[in-house]
Amino acid sequence: MITAEHLGEGRWRELARQALARLLRSYGSARFDLCEDAVQEALMQAHQQWPAQFPDDPLGWLVATARRRYADRARSDARRRDRETRAALLQAPVTPEAVQRDDSLLVLRLCCHPELPRSGQVALTLRAVAGLSTAQIANAYQLPERTIAQRITRARRRLGELGRPLPPPGHAGESVTAVLDVLYVMFSEAHHTTAGAPVRDADLAVEAMHLARLLRRGVPESTEVTGLLALMLLTEARHPARVGPDGRLISLDEQDRALWNQELISEGIGLVDQAAPGAEPGPYLIQACIAALHAEAPDIAATDWVEILALYRLLEIVTGHRNPTIALNRIVAQAMVDGVDVALAQIDALEADHPGLPRLHAVRAHLLEQVGRPDEAARAYRRAIAATVNLAEQQHLRYRLRRLAGVTVGPVGAASRPPRPR
């Protein structure tokens, strides 16, 4: 029998999202803030009560409790309601059919309402759908926590001001771009948590892939939706080899590729093969193509680095050269094609424009290590450790620093190993 102790973080997120969808169906997007607050209060009550008495229908319990919380809040807040009675607020029934329906996309689309600014869409969705904290969102975007909190507050207020229903799926005014951006940030946070000890939030990764599958079901003609799902699958496939038994991160060139999930790789490559031919290149499809090239190669040496470098250059063009992280990844590929010295010169130029770029010092350290400059590499490793908040990343960098201190590294040329992408 399932108990409260058996519920993983992913299941809690799913229940919260489904409960929020039920309330929004009943009370409308104009009451988004009250609905979200009511669901959060119901979740807190569930954490307190379920260990002692787990309900037969967890979602139904959450919805009913959230409705009562909503009614209490709505009654006491004269500015947000028109003196409706408690009975009227609770009249919308929760049918078994409704409980079984997956309304994840309803909440996702509402948070990404076309009349909200992009910054508000992303922040609100990561908070309400992904369940990320304001601090996590701020870390993911390298912005002050207060800025993210203000974006969420303004987005919630704007939804209340709109007071009209969401456009139907496929409406000309609605774009899936904001939804894709949110899912990408969710998945990136899952595989590179911005704070704390875990190197990966498995439940969040599953949630992001689940939502990407739902989105593709809704807009199967979108090559970017297909590309994002393929990118997620191909990235997830490498995870079993990315972390060692001691919890240490393992670089791509040291991973045991026999541990890669071939089922996910096959599905991901199949999606790329389906979407790529004749498609207008978009950022997620291009990244999926890069991931597919890594997945198809038997080892680092046999990887088609020339094609990967070309794809990164195309990605920079498509994104308007606005994303320095893409430039950093392109430099990693360029080290394999044009040599480490060329890559080092480019990373120096990149740092001049983006001095606070995450991972820049780690990549430079790898490059310096490869060209036989251990003292400079050690300094770069120390700067990378100081700039990294994830404990698993810190452990990996300290391991590399210790290994560097005990190994003599000779000069290498254009065919040397690149800095180790993960």
The residues, ordered by sequence, that sit 6+ positions from 133 with a Cβ below 8 Å of its Cβ are: none
> Left, alpha or beta for 126 (phi > 0: left; psi -120 to 50: alpha)?
alpha
| Cα–Cα distance for residue pair 89/79, rounded to 1 Å | 16
- Using one digit for the tens of pLDDT, what is the confidence trace for 45-77? 888 888 888 888 888 899 888 888 877 776 665
Structural domains in the chain, CATH included, are: 323-422 (1.25.40.10)
Distance CA 113, CA 86 (A): 29
* Element at 112 (helix H, strand E): none
Give me the residue label for tokens 């009654």: 75
> How far is the C-alpha of 241 from the C-alpha of 379, rounded, in Å?
28
Instruction: For the chain, give the mean pLDDT.
Output: 80
Q: Which residues contact 398 (CB under 8 A, 6 or more apart)?
A: 381, 385
172 three-class SS: coil
In the structure, what pLDDT confidence band is assigned to residue 341 with cuts at 50, 70 and 90? Answer: very high
- Measured CA to CA, the distance from residue 32 to residue 81 in angstroms comes to 13
| Dist. CA 363–CA 89, nearest whole Å | 56
Residue 358 is predicted with a pLDDT of 80
d(CA 250, CA 8) in angstroms, rounded, equals 26
Hey, which residues does 196 pair with through a beta bridge? Answer: 390
Left if phi > 0, otherwise alpha if psi is -120 to 50, otherwise beta: which for 28? left
Dihedral sign of CA atoms 107, 108, 111, 116 in order: negative
Q: How far is 299 from 276, CA to CA, in rounded Å?
A: 24
Tell me the per-residue pLDDT of 361-373, one tens digit each, with 9 for 90 and over. 999 999 999 899 9
Residue 331 scores a pLDDT above 90: yes
Specify the 3-state DSSP secondary structure of 196.
strand
Per-residue model confidence as pLDDT tens digits over 191-234: 765 554 455 677 788 888 988 998 888 788 899 999 999 999 99
Among 74, 1, 6, CA closest to 37:
74
